[in-house]
A and B are shown apart, each in its own frame.
Chain A
C-alpha cells in the first residue's frame, strides 16, 4: 500500500502512550487530549480529589459521599480540538542524502509528517499540510476526518525536492492566510537566512500560534566526513567549490554550530520548541524523544 508507506505502526505503537500536549492553550470546542482552560464545558472525567474550602459545592460527588461519608470533588477536564498546520520544506537541499539507500532529509521529513498527522487524527485534532520550497507547492487545509489522512499521505507520496529554499516567504504568506490559531509545525533543514526564518516564526507567534520547529539534517552535514579533495556542488544554486575537506573541516563545524545555535536561541526567543533531527537516527526514537519532552513540559 503505497499510500500508507509512511505509517510505521511500530513507530506509532511506541508513541501511542505519550501525550502530545500543546504548551499554549488553543481556543477550541472539541474535546481532545489537550488540556483546556474551559472547565465544566467538557464532560471528560479526570479524577477525584478531596474537597477543600472554596471549591464549588456543585462539584461534590454525592454518591461517593454516600458510600464513604467524605466529600470528594469530581474533576473534569475539558478537551479542545487542535488545529495543526504542518509546514514541510521540499526545497532541493532537502533532497540531500549522504548514503546510498539512506533517507534523504525530505523522506525523513515526510515520515515525520505522516506520524504526526496520524497521531493528531487519532486525537481528533485537525491536521493540515503545506509543502513549499521557494513558494507554496501544496496546501491541504486542516481537517479532522479520517479520510483526510489519505489526502495528506497522497501529497507526501508525490513530494519531490524542488527549487531553492525560501522558508520565510511561504511562511509569511501562510501566516497571513490562517484565521484560526493552532499549532504550527515546521519541518525543514532551515538552510535559509536565520533572521528571515525567525522573522517568519515571529509572525506566527504574533498571531497566537504555537510553534514547533523540527530541523532535519543529514549526518554528513553534521560531521562533514569528507577527506579527499572534493568539488562540492550546491544542489540548489549549482554553485561549485573545490575544497580540501581536512583543511576546512574545523571551519565548517564551527560555522555549523554557530548556525544551529542561532536557530536554537532564536526559537527560544519566539517561544518556539526547537528540535534537531539527524536522519541517521531512527524516526521513532526522535519522535518519542520529542513527545516525551513535550509531555514533560506540558505536565
Chain B
C-alpha cells in the first residue's frame, strides 16, 4: 500500500487521543462500606471483567477510527489483483524501462551505453513511492523485473543487461510495456525506451496500436558510430531441401556494405562437410554483392554449412537431401496405345529430362491395368481423367490416404461424372457436376483463369513473390463444375468464382482435385512455365514430403516432437513441444534412442546488421495518445485511471469508519460510563 498524500499520516498520532481520553476520564473508584456483599459477590468479578473488556473494545474501535480517518485523508493506494490475476501496483510514478538487447546493440560501445542508460533511467525514482519495471526485448520480450516499488531486481537487471542475438521488435516491446503499466495505479505512467532504434525493428508496427491513455513514452537513443558499420550477410540462397541426384547446387551469399567506405577483397568462406571454399568480394560504400558457391550433395541427410565473413561465422544453413518420391500415375484418358495427352504432360513434368534432376520416381499405369499392389508402395497417386477404379484399388487409395500419402484427381474429357462420384465418394474432395466452358476472351478464344489463389498454402507458396510465376496466365477453355465440396478447402478458384483447386484431409493424408485436365483441348496450362512447379509442389505436398524448414532465425520456434531431444550450441536444451532458439548455430534433434534425426540452422536476423534508424519522434507520435484523446479515453472508461480507483478505496475507508462508529455507539450504550 502507498499513499498519495502521506503527510496526513501524521494524523495517525491521533490514535493516542482516545487512549488519553480514556486515561483521563476512567472511573474513579469510590469506596463504600456496605451491609453485605452476598447479592453480588458472585457476579461482580464477571461483570467487571466484561465491562473492562467492552471498554477495551471501545478504546480499540475509537483508536482504529482515528487511524482510519488519517489513512483516508492520506489517500491510500492498494496493490490488488487485476481481473487477469496480476497484482496491481500503486505508486506515485510507474515507469517501465525497455532495454533493447537485440544483436545490433552489440556493436561498438552500445553495450556500455545500454547499461549506463538503463541505470540512469532508474535514478530519478524513489523506491517505495515509485514503481519500476525493467524489460529487455529483441524478437521477444523478457520481464527482467516486474513492476514493483522495490527496485532491487530492476537495479540488478540494469547492471547486468547485455545484448543477445535476437532481432529488434520495438512495437512488440511497447505492447508489453503498456501491459505492465496497465497494472499500475499511479499519477504518472511512463515508458523509457533504450534502443538503437533500428528501422527494421519498427517494421512490425501496426497503426491500430496506441499506448494506454496517459502513458508517456520517452526515448533514450543509443548512437552507434559509423565506424562500427561494416559488411554483413544480407541473405543466403541455398538448397534447403533437395533430392539426391548428384547435381551441383548453388549456395549464394548476399552481402551488403553498410558503411560509406568501399571494401575490397572481402573474404567469404563456405565450410561444409569438412571442405572449404573461398571467395573474395568487392563492395562499394553502401553497395551489395553476392558470392556464389557450388556444391554436389552425394549422400542423403542433413548437410551443415557455415558462411564465414572476415573469419567469423556469419550464416548457418542446413541443406537436407532427400530420396525421390514414389509416384503412381494412373491414366484414364483416351490414348492410342501410349498415354493420353494429360497423362503425358504430367509424366513429363515428373521427369522433365535427363538434364533435370527430378524428385520423383514415377510408375505409370493405364486405368485398366492398375492393381492394389501398385498403390501399396507409392507415396502419392495422380489420377488423370479417371472415371472409376475397381473397388479394391479405391480401397488401396483410401489406405494410402490413411497412412499419410496423397491422391491428386485431374478429371477431364474422359471422366464420367456419375461414375466418378460413385467410385471416389470417400476419397475425392468433392463431386463432379458438369463441364463448363470459359468466357470469351478479348484476345479471341475462350478461357477461364485461376483467381483468388491461396498463396499461403504450401503448393502455391513458391508463386507468392513477384517474378516467381504467374498463375493467372494459364487459360482453361473447359473445366469441371464441382459440387458437394463442403468438406474440402478451396485453394484456388476460376475467375467465375467456381472452385478450381480443392483439398480435403482424409485420415493422415490429403486428397486434392484440379478441376481441369491438363490436355490441350482444355487448357494451355501444361505449356506454361508454372505447370511443372505446380505439379511438383502439389505432389510433394500430397506425398507428405513437404519438408520442414531447416533454417530459422533467432527467436523462431524449432519443432521438437515429443520425447525428442534438442542439442543446441550451448548443449542439451529442455525443449518440449516447440523451442524458441535464442542463439545462432546448429541445433541437432535426437530421437528417444539418441539418434540424430534432423538438424536446424539458426541465424541472427540479417536485418540486425542494417544500421538504418527510425526517428524517436516518429515512434512517439505513432503510439502516444494526445492529451485530449487520453482525457476522452479515460472519460469513456477505456482506461480505469488511478483517480477513480483511489476514490473507490477512499470510500471503502469511509464506510469502514462509519461502520466502526456505529459499532462504537452500540457498544458504548451497553457499556455505560459516567
Binding partners A and B:
yes
B33, A233: Cβ atoms closer than 8 Å: yes
B672, A246: Cβ atoms closer than 8 Å: yes
Using known A-B contacts A232-B37, A234-B37, A256-B39, determine if residue A242 contacts B48 with beta carbons closer than 8 Å: yes
Besides A189-B35, A232-B37, 14 more A-B contacts (Cβ < 8 Å) are A191-B35, A191-B36, A228-B27, A228-B28, A232-B32, A234-B37, A235-B34, A235-B35, A236-B36, A243-B48, A247-B50, A247-B51, A251-B39, A256-B39
A: residues with CB less than 8 A from B are: 93-94, 96, 105, 189, 191, 218, 221, 226-237, 239, 241-244, 246-248, 251-252, 255-256, 259
B40, A244: Cβ atoms closer than 8 Å: no
B47 contact from A105, A228, A247, Cβ within 8 A? A247
A93, B36: Cβ atoms closer than 8 Å: yes
* Contact mask for chain B residues 257-291; partner A; CB cutoff 8 A; 1 contact, 0 none: 00000000000000000000000000000000000
The 8 A-B pairs of least Cβ separation, nearest first, read A229-B27, A247-B47, A255-B39, A96-B35, A93-B35, A243-B44, A232-B34, A230-B30
B34 contact from A96, A227, A244, A247, Cβ within 8 A? A96
Contacts of A247 in B (CB 8 A): 47-48, 50-51
Contacts of B43 in A (CB 8 A): 248, 251
B33, A96: Cβ atoms closer than 8 Å: yes
A239 contact from B32, B37, B50, Cβ within 8 A? B37
Main secondary structure of the interface of B (DSSP, over half): loop
Contacts of B672 in A (CB 8 A): 246
Using known A-B contacts A228-B674, A229-B28, determine if residue A235 contacts B33 with beta carbons closer than 8 Å: yes
Q: How many residues belonging to B are interface residues under a CB distance threshold of 8 Å?
A: 24
Q: Which residue of B lies closest to A191 (CB)?
A: B36
Within 8 A of A (CB), among B19-63: 27-41, 43-45, 47-48, 50-51
Contacts of A227 in B (CB 8 A): 674
How far apart are the CA atoms of A243 and B29 in the complex, in Å? 9
Within 8 A of A (CB), among B381-417: none
A229, B30: Cβ atoms closer than 8 Å: yes
Contacts of A256 in B (CB 8 A): 39
CB B424 to nearest CB in A, in angstroms, measures 99
A243, B47: Cβ atoms closer than 8 Å: yes
B32, A248: Cβ atoms closer than 8 Å: no
B41, A239: Cβ atoms closer than 8 Å: yes
B37, A231: Cβ atoms closer than 8 Å: no
How far apart are the CA atoms of A243 and B36 in the complex, in Å? 13
How far apart are the CA atoms of A241 and B31 in the complex, in Å? 10
Q: Which residue of A lies closest to B51 (CB)?
A: A244
A231, B35: Cβ atoms closer than 8 Å: no
CB B29 to nearest CB in A, in angstroms, measures 5
* Contact mask for chain B residues 160-180; partner A; CB cutoff 8 A; 1 contact, 0 none: 000000000000000000000
A244, B48: Cβ atoms closer than 8 Å: yes
Contacts of B39 in A (CB 8 A): 251-252, 255-256, 259
How far apart are the CA atoms of A259 and B40 in the complex, in Å? 12
B44, A231: Cβ atoms closer than 8 Å: no
How far apart are the CA atoms of A189 and B31 in the complex, in Å? 22
| A/B interface sample: 14 pairs, CB < 8 A | A189-B35, A191-B38, A227-B674, A230-B30, A231-B30, A231-B31, A234-B35, A234-B36, A235-B34, A236-B36, A241-B41, A242-B44, A252-B40, A255-B38
B32, A251: Cβ atoms closer than 8 Å: no
How far apart are the CA atoms of A229 and B37 in the complex, in Å? 15
CB B221 to nearest CB in A, in angstroms, measures 77
Interface core residue of A226, A229, A236, A246 (most chain B CB under 10 Å):
A229
Using known A-B contacts A228-B674, A229-B28, A256-B39, determine if residue A248 contacts B44 with beta carbons closer than 8 Å: yes
How far apart are the CA atoms of A174 and B371 in the complex, in Å? 141
